[in-house]
A and B are shown apart, each in its own frame.
Chain A
Amino acid sequence: MAKDIYMGEVSRNEEIRKDFFLMKVTLPSGFVEPMPGQFVMIRIAGLNDPFLSRPISIYSFSRGRSNCSMELLFRVVGKGTRILAGLIKGSLVEISGPLGEGHFAIPKAGNIVFIAGGIGIAPLSLFAENLCRKVCRSSDAMTFYLGAQSADGLIGLNRVHKYCGNIIVCTDDGSAGMKALVTKAFQKDLKKYDPMDTAIYACGPRPMIRALSGMLDAEYFCQVSLEERMACGVGACVGCAVAMKDDLGQKTYKRVCSDGPVFELKDIVWE
């Protein structure tokens, strides 16, 4: 019995941009150091509505002397995230995690490319930070493509600036950076990236991942973080299925929560 449901206390919850919140939670010291790409299931202590816990990626993590603290970056899209947005300092949340067996793998390649759509920046920027600070990868090796509908949706750029030497910003409406889809901006540069010496990491809406799969052949190492609705978060209900190829190339359903959420792009079966 190694894992537990942790009682976390909100120490800060700030609307950093309209509908985008950065929440800091203090957790007991037993909480295990997360790997980039892992997530938590969060719910408001003592509240059974919304009924299910919500999966949120770990945006940052630090360990103090007597406790840990974790930041979650989230966007208000419905009931659960609206309630999370309303939490104030001192509110209690129940957190299980870190969850997910599939996380981002430390690259051997010389070029490291991140592609994020909107809130998809959350797990990727933690990964960029870890690569810089823990594996000592130079920021010059790291390129970050960030896309959003408009300038308002570009969040978390400050942190990315700290760790990535090259940043390409795109918006659908042209209100900041290039007026293009982030995948299109990446595709323009694709020739620059030798498949043998490039590792690509992506997180964003499904159409973005799908577009990537259309432009990258299997030679490229590309990991993506996927999302599905979840109930248990630990692999028990098989509710969060995604279609993947198995070792023999046959279609099989994998669990985003436990087999993922990070998978290899080439393994995804597009239904």
Chain B
Amino acid sequence: MKVEIAGLKLKNPVMTASGTFGYGEEYSDYVDLNRLGGIVVKGLSLKPRPGNPPPRIMETSGGMLNAVGLQNVGVDVFIDEKLPFLRRYDVVVIANIYGESYKEYAQVAGKLSRAKGVHALEINVSCPNVKKGGLSFGSDPRAAAEVTRCVKAETHLPVIVKLTPNVTDIASIALSVENAGADAVSLINTITGMSIDLRARTPHLKNITGGLSGPAIKPVALRMVWQVAQKVSIPVIGIGGIMTAEDALEFMIAGAKAVQIGTASFINPCALVEIIDGIRHYLDENKIKNIKDIVGTLQT
């Protein structure tokens, strides 16, 4: 079940998705963290962020919208107060980071690289580039590449770039960050959407729009993973609507070397462990010795 991604040795290919597992502690009563392939923590910024006003979430068919607004404790508090808890476990810890400028990305990356117990960085490029009128870094191949270079220059840790699906050609962004030195890409982040309260004629979310996650987005995520995996030679991590081991395996067949589980944890905190066990079972049943042997085996 072991997989290696950009030098990271994971016990298995199943990780948590950023923003859906807090800082690890929140679910530690339900899940044995030592069993996970990796823990990706809530997105961290240079300064603490209050987040968006409520309501922040809304259920939709087969999924949910969120506009949490990247509320987080900030990188310093994370290092001082949250990381010591994670160090007690034998698990790969990946810090998800974001900033509003290239400099901020670099500063957060620098601080985390000097902290003990962070094994890799995942760059969230879905946030608005304030200088560029709020267009997200991840929707412009040049900006995405520049963020990647800035972070790489500040760290010795493996760097994963997490791609946004809210673009016309995700594979070209993936190629661009690969050329800029990314060690892996993960995809997809949430798809922008909205929902309306018919009676009140108001949006359900105070922020009006939010990010869609859950099984509703799986077909889109699968398509994007497949497209990206064909273009890049760095490892691809598949994310989006994975609820079961079968879902995770489909992502691997499409070309993902590992997967992340997000919204599924909300409705079943044990989903991560059930998926790990389910993959094991599938490999045994199909007499597949090495999990690598199924990655990218899609027959077309």
Contact (Cβ within 8 A) B50 A2:
no
Interface string of B55-88 (1 = CB under 8 A from A): 1111111111010100100000000000000000
Interface string of A229-240 (1 = CB under 8 A from B): 111111111111
Chain A residues lying within 8 Å of B266, measured Cβ to Cβ, are: 52-53, 231-233, 236-237
Contact (Cβ within 8 A) A51 B64:
yes
Asked if B7 is at the interface (CB within 8 A of a chain A CB), the reply is: no
A96 CB to closest chain B CB (Å) equals 7
Chain B residues lying within 8 Å of A235, measured Cβ to Cβ, are: 22, 26
Contact (Cβ within 8 A) A234 B26:
yes
Asked if B219 is at the interface (CB within 8 A of a chain A CB), the reply is: no
A45-78 contacts to B, CB under 8 A, are 48-53
Interface string of B262-283 (1 = CB under 8 A from A): 0101111110000000000000
Contact (Cβ within 8 A) B27 A229:
no
**Looking at the complex, which of A111-119, A139-147, A250-258 is the stretch in contact with chain B?**
A250-258
Contact (Cβ within 8 A) A5 B270:
yes
Contact (Cβ within 8 A) A50 B59:
yes
B175 CB to closest chain A CB (Å) equals 32
Asked if B51 is at the interface (CB within 8 A of a chain A CB), the reply is: yes
A242 CB to closest chain B CB (Å) equals 6
Asked if B193 is at the interface (CB within 8 A of a chain A CB), the reply is: no
Interface size bracket, A side: 35 or more
Contact (Cβ within 8 A) A5 B268:
yes
Contact (Cβ within 8 A) B56 A238:
yes
Contact (Cβ within 8 A) B59 A52:
yes
Asked if A189 is at the interface (CB within 8 A of a chain B CB), the reply is: no
A2 CB to closest chain B CB (Å) equals 5
Interface size bracket, B side: 35 or more
- Main secondary structure, interface of A, reads loop
Asked if B141 is at the interface (CB within 8 A of a chain A CB), the reply is: no
Chain A residues lying within 8 Å of B267, measured Cβ to Cβ, are: 43, 48, 51-53
Interface string of A1-33 (1 = CB under 8 A from B): 111110000000000000000000000000000
Contact (Cβ within 8 A) B56 A236:
no
Contact (Cβ within 8 A) B26 A229:
no
B94-139 contacts to A, CB under 8 A, are none
Most buried by B among A49, A228, A229, A230: A229
A224 CB to closest chain B CB (Å) equals 16
A86-145 contacts to B, CB under 8 A, are 94, 96
Most buried by B among A1, A2, A43: A1
CB-contact partner of A236 in B22, B60, B61, B63, under 8 A: B22
CB-contact partner of A49 in B22, B61, B64, under 8 A: B61
Interface string of B12-27 (1 = CB under 8 A from A): 0000000111100011
B68 CB to closest chain A CB (Å) equals 5
Interface residues of A (CB under 8 A from B): 1-5, 43, 48-53, 94, 96, 228-243, 251-253, 258, 271
Q: Closest 4 A-B residue pairs measured CB to CB?
A: A239-B57, A236-B22, A3-B29, A236-B26
- 8 more A-B residue pairs beyond the given contacts A51-B63, A51-B214, with a C-beta to C-beta distance below 8 A: A1-B32, A51-B62, A53-B267, A94-B268, A229-B58, A232-B269, A236-B20, A239-B56
6 A–B pairs (Cβ distance < 8 Å), ordered by A: A5-B269, A52-B64, A53-B266, A230-B57, A231-B57, A231-B263
